Amino acid sequence: MIGIPVSLLLNATDLEFPGKIFRVEFIDLHGDVLTEIPTPYYDTRPALYNVSNVVAPAEFFNIKVTRSDATAV
């Protein structure tokens, strides 16, 4: 699926208020960031995050989600 825009839907229903997701990163197998994508927050759907038109990297990658939760200082 290289070069084809896709969408990510993140379900954060277990994330306690006032927690939220800030960004999604594609990380290569060495831990280096390939792409950083901010996640939009919608008051009408606080537990669902939709990131549209994301183009997957041409290499193997992992997805890292950066968030805060109720226990964060």
Answer yes or no: are the C-beta atoms of 16 and 66 closer than 8 Å.
Answer: no
Tell me the pLDDT tens digit for each residue of 44-65: 888 899 988 888 888 899 999 9
Residue tagged 């290289």 (tokens): 2
pLDDT at 72: 54
In sequence order, the β-bridge partners of residue 51 are: 8
CA dihedral defined by 69, 35, 48, 12, rounded to 10 degrees? -40
Instruction: Give pTM, 2 decimals.
Output: 0.76
pLDDT at 63: 94
DSSP category for residue 56: P
